[in-house]
Amino acid sequence: MKTTLKLSFLVLITILGISCNTKSQSHSEAIKVLTPTEFKQKSANQTIIDIRTPQEFSEGHIEGAVNINYYDSNFMDQMAKFDKNQPIFIYCRSGNRTTAASKKAADFGFTEIYDLEGGILYWMKNNNETVK
């Protein structure tokens, strides 16, 4: 009886471990963190999503970016309007929100997500322009 219980527990832990590993592997395959220089080069003529608040967005954003507030309750509904099989380029203020948003997007089925390292603060620190 004890052996059967131990074996069942071991199988359960193994299955949970595999499913968690598979999920994180899909995240790492779908999400790529880019330096500001890489982001600028690769995002030309692509979908750029600024996930900051509308107030933050109005203070300056990357040209061509669409503002989708990460804190809105319908954030993923707005993200769902984009083609999951096309690349999306996401950024926030410092990179913290982008990490969480990129994971949500990957879970939702987006296959190619580019995350701006350090957010717009690092973008500006590297002498890249913003528009208001």
Question: Per residue in 18-27, pLDDT tens?
Answer: 544 444 445 7
As a whole number, the mean pLDDT across the chain is 87
Q: What pLDDT is stored for residue 6 in this prediction?
A: 59
Of residues 24 and 12, the one with the higher pLDDT is 12
Give the contacts of 26 (CB within 8 A, at least 6 positions apart): 106
**What pLDDT score was predicted for residue 26?**
56
33-76 pLDDT, tens digit per residue, is 999 999 999 999 999 999 999 999 999 999 999 999 999 999 99
Residue 10: predicted pLDDT: 54
Most distant CA atoms of the chain, gap in Å: 69
Q: For the purposes of burial, counting CB atoms within 10 Å of the CB of 25, is it exposed (0-12), middle (13-18) or buried (19 or more)?
A: exposed
Name the amino acid, one letter, at 100. Answer: A
Query: Above 50 in pLDDT, residue 1?
Result: yes
Q: Taking a C-beta distance cutoff of 8 angstroms, is the pair 92, 101 a contact?
A: yes
Contact predicate 30/111, CB 8 Å: yes
Question: For 84-88, what is the mean pLDDT?
Answer: 96
Can you give the pTM of this predicted structure?
A: 0.79
Q: Domains for the chain: give ranges and CATH numbers.
A: 30-125 (3.40.250.10)
- With tokens 């790492």, the residue in question is 28
Q: How far apart are CA 52 and CA 120, in angstroms?
A: 10
